[in-house]
Structure 1
Amino acid sequence: MMRKGANWYGVVGAPTDVGHVGCGAAAGPAGLRAAGLMRRLGQVGLVADMGDVAGPAYDGAVDVSGCRSVAETASWCGAVRDRVGRVLAAGGFPIMMGGDHSLALGSIAAASAHARAQGRAFHVLWFDAHPDFNTPETSPSGNTHGLPAATACGLGHPLMLSVGAFTPLLLPAHLEQFGIRDVDPGERANLRAASVRFHEMPAVRAQGLPALVGAALARIAAAGGGHVHVSFDLDVLDPAVAPGVGTPVPGGLDLPSAEIAMRMLGASGLIGSLDLVEFAAGHDREGRTASAAERLLTGFIAARNGRRDPAMAPLDRVA
């Protein structure tokens, strides 16, 4: 562990796809490391590899709720919570590297508890093709990677709700989602009932992702700021840009817009923790998805550290 108070980033690997068994995301952390991600991050910031957390394999059982791998997901999320919490307690900035998106519940649990202990508001900005706002009652698939955002907001299975020290971990009014384009009917009803602000791709194309992200950051700043957690699912990108994901959906974000948004987030000074999930190395082609992940994270860290990454154009020329 790096010394407390240092301006450093702790990368926590979570190599599992219990949230969507067989999607390939379990290979994500190893695939990103093998592609040289840690070396590139180290060129723009002080980065420590905190290693991988561990948890149980899916045993094939279906919960009475109709969902698969609920207990396994809760176990993995608990391990993520504890490791991310250690980074936060030591003054670091945690980057949870998945693994499937169910794991975000663990990092959100740690970040929310950290914010509460500091007396700060807690917000989540969620980038995803899917809102992940199902409950066991509304989920058509029974996959737990479709539940974490709702669970964080206090809606869901008791085992998953117990991952946090309290519930809800997140007020629905403090959740904002970008790039959404695959929403289940019951999930849409859940989002509307909770009054979650979510931007589907037609709105993103019309207004531009940087403008929407800028507006979200302005609202948070105007409300007094707080700890903002970013949860970035690589399937928010168009499959032409990022084919190496577990659940690709056509019509997603282009990489330049996503890069600008990530650099805006880094430069804002508001972000305190981050997820990068759903990299399925076995589905990648020509290293495109791994390269996109690298560009997004290096741009974020460089901007957060007030540095110019020589691999990228100045932000003021592309925003």
Structure 2
Amino acid sequence: MRTICRESALQPKLGVETGPAAIRETGIFKALAQLGRDVRDYGDVRPDLIDPDPPLHGMRNWRNIHSYNLKASHRYGIDNVDITLADRVKQVIEDGKLCVTLGGDHSIALGTVYGHVLASKKSVGVIWVDAHADINTPLSSLSGNVHGMSLSFLCEELEDYHPPIPSWEWPDPCLTADRIVFIGLRDVDPLERLAIDKTGVKAYSMHEVEQLGIREVARRAIEDINPNGDRAIHVSFDIDAIDPVVAPCTGTPVPGGLSLREGEYLMEVIHETGALEALDMVEVNPLLGSGEEAEKTAQAAELLILAACGRYRGGNVPLGVTDLPLSRNS
């Protein structure tokens, strides 16, 4: 397993750039090693900030988002080298490793999903776990925040709904609607609902989670994007999918979300498919609460990542251990 961390504070609420450090401090790398994972931390990748960055077609920070997905200086190990998030994800997946990317806000999916699609030997299906659909276009968005538009730039069926944006020929739309599924929606803009209906993207809101239960939602979602079992899976998980009682430190919390138990179950089931190649964990913002709340949110993110990487709540046999300790007298 390889971990990439993105620092991105290109949204109104500062602090999301500290999310990767907060997740690291939970002890996640030690816990992953105990699961038998060979972990390499690639360090943080920081954007080369451009100032000024005035809005275009209502898009805020569009130049910077282009820069940090396409041209960013790697902080550790590779000095003064321009590298893209997409390139880094591509490298990890081509090496046959599970790529875990820590955000940062959800605009990082522009780079992570694109890099995954470029690298994978298989067609890629995306499970988008989020309170929000993030499928606005620049012309439909009420906020202008690109982290609420990420999927619309990736979805082929929405390509014609984007105005021309200088240098944004990248990312090429790389997903068809039948390879995208939402889980956990509960705060969807009216025109996002129209986009979902128009494209036919499968969506399991909290209504369906309540109605069907997380077991059936997980089963259906995996079947929706991987009907023949021959696709790779990319999970893009916004921590605000989890109820704010459990994960309060995030930029746009919405009551009535997934329980941590439901989130862990979903990640466990996805792990069991053997098809998971990439995981994003985004929108942990330690500055939006007390120290205790920040720690609680980071720990929730840690448990979700561990579940996706094979942690079983019923217990895991220690790595390399095949028998119980023998008595000295035996």
Under TM normalisation by the shorter chain, which class is it?
0.7 to 0.9
Superposition CA RMSD, Å: 2.1
Q: 1:152 aligns with which of 147, 151, 154?
A: 154
Deviation, 1:160, is: 7.8
Deviation, 1:308, is: 4.4
Summarize the Cα distance change of 1:310–1:241 in structure 2 as closer, same or farther, 3 Å threshold.
Answer: farther
The answer for the alignment partner of 1:43 in structure 2 is: 34
Q: Which has the higher helix share?
A: 1
Deviation, 1:82, is: 1.4
Identity of aligned residues (%): 33
Q: 2:234 aligns with which of 229, 233, 241?
A: 229
Deviation, 1:76, is: 1.5
Tell me if the contact between 2:232 and 2:276 (Cα under 8 Å) persists in the aligned partners: yes
The answer for the alignment partner of 1:174 in structure 2 is: 179
Alignment of 1:145-294 (within 5 A): 145-154=147-156, 155=159, 156=162, 158=165, 162-164=169-171, 167-285=172-290, 286=292, 287-294=295-302
Give the distance between the partners of 1:180 and 1:23, measured in 2 at CA: 24
Give the distance between the partners of 2:50 and 2:111, measured in 1 at CA: 18
User: What residue identity is the alignment partner of 1:94?
Assistant: C
Find the structure with the greater CA-based Rg.
2
Summarize the Cα distance change of 1:140–1:163 in structure 2 as closer, same or farther, 3 Å threshold.
Answer: same
Tell me if the contact between 1:77 and 1:163 (Cα under 8 Å) persists in the aligned partners: no
Tell me if the contact between 2:53 and 2:63 (Cα under 8 Å) persists in the aligned partners: no
Summarize the Cα distance change of 1:85–1:206 in structure 2 as closer, same or farther, 3 Å threshold.
Answer: same
User: What residue identity is the alignment partner of 1:64?
Assistant: L
Which segment drifts farther, 74-83 or 173-182?
74-83
Q: Deviations over 1:172-214 (max 9, x none)?
A: 1110000001111122111211111111111111111221111
The answer for the alignment partner of 2:132 in structure 1 is: 130
* 1:76 equivalenced with 2:83 (yes/no): no
Tell me if the contact between 1:109 and 1:163 (Cα under 8 Å) persists in the aligned partners: no
Deviation, 1:284, is: 4.6
| TM-score when normalising by structure 2 | 0.84
The answer for the alignment partner of 2:7 in structure 1 is: 15
Deviation, 1:150, is: 0.9
Partner of 2:309: helix, strand, or coil? helix
The answer for the alignment partner of 2:310 in structure 1 is: 302
How many pairs are equivalent? 295
Deviation, 1:23, is: 4.2
Partner of 2:47: helix, strand, or coil? coil
* 1:31 equivalenced with 2:39 (yes/no): no
Give the distance between the partners of 2:263 and 2:305, measured in 1 at CA: 11
Q: Deviations over 1:54-98 (max 9, x none)?
A: 213363533331111111112222221111111112221110100
The answer for the alignment partner of 2:113 in structure 1 is: 108
- Structure 2: any 5+ residue segments left out of the alignment? 71-83, 319-330
Tell me if the contact between 2:19 and 2:104 (Cα under 8 Å) persists in the aligned partners: yes
Q: Deviations over 1:240-280 (max 9, x none)?
A: 00001111111111010110110000111111111000010
Tell me if the contact between 1:298 and 1:309 (Cα under 8 Å) persists in the aligned partners: no
| TM-score when normalising by structure 1 | 0.86
Give the distance between the partners of 2:257 and 2:15, measured in 1 at CA: 20
Give the distance between the partners of 1:262 and 1:22, measured in 2 at CA: 28
